[in-house]
Amino acid sequence: MTERPSLAAINPGESDLPDCRLGVDRLRALSRGVWRLVAASLPLGAAYAWRATNWALLWQSQPLTFVALGVVFLLVVAIGLFFLASGLRWLALAAWPRDLSMRIGASGIEWSFGPFGSGRATWSDIEARTEERYDAEMLARLPDDAFTPVVRDRRDGTDLYARLQAVSGVAPDVLNGGLRAYLRA
């Protein structure tokens, strides 16, 4: 396996940029998974309760009502299955046996989020700036929760900041602190 050259190797002046490694909040993932399973139980429980309906009689006596209830039934089941799959995915994240983390470094951003995937984006593929326009000195003086970073993948327009923050559960000010050195003012 060949090692990818880092940005510091390409631009020696950037070797002093800090590395930041942030973990995934597994307790938050567990909480999200449990709440989604609770949300799944409501429509799936309602669909299970509808089994007492005499569908054959309804089809013979009121076919339009049968079709309308059938559509509603399928929609309720689809919603329940969506929440069930989402809840199981979050529970899998909470119980993932391997390391779950993201690393913000001189070469770019790398993440490993188990069932939510892993990836890597180099700084040449990332647009990293603040939403507000600050000069570099002003940005250095601001606390980590006083600015809004915009971190997008240039290749497909994905909002990396929102994805990293949502899946990892890291507080926005902690993530802002890790990104601060790499943002363009």
pLDDT 10s digits, 124-148: 999 988 888 887 788 888 888 888 8
pLDDT value at residue 25: 92
User: Strands of 101-105's sheet, edge to edge?
Assistant: 20-23, 101-105, 108-112, 118-122
Residue 71 has a pLDDT of 95
At 111, which helix (H) or strand (E)? Answer: strand 108-112
Residue pointed to by tokens 């990332």: 126
Confidence of residue 185 (pLDDT cuts 50, 70, 90): low
pLDDT value of position 13: 45
What pLDDT shows up at residue 92?
Answer: 96
Residue 31 has pLDDT above 70, yes or no: yes
As a whole number, mean pLDDT of residues 37-45 equals: 95
Q: Residue 15 — very low, low, confident or very high, per pLDDT cuts 50/70/90?
A: low
Mean pLDDT comparison of 32-41, 54-63, 112-121, 160-169, highest-scoring range: 32-41
Please give the model's pTM, rounded to 2 decimal places: 0.77
Buried b (16+ CB within 10 A) or exposed e, 79-89: bbeebbebbeb
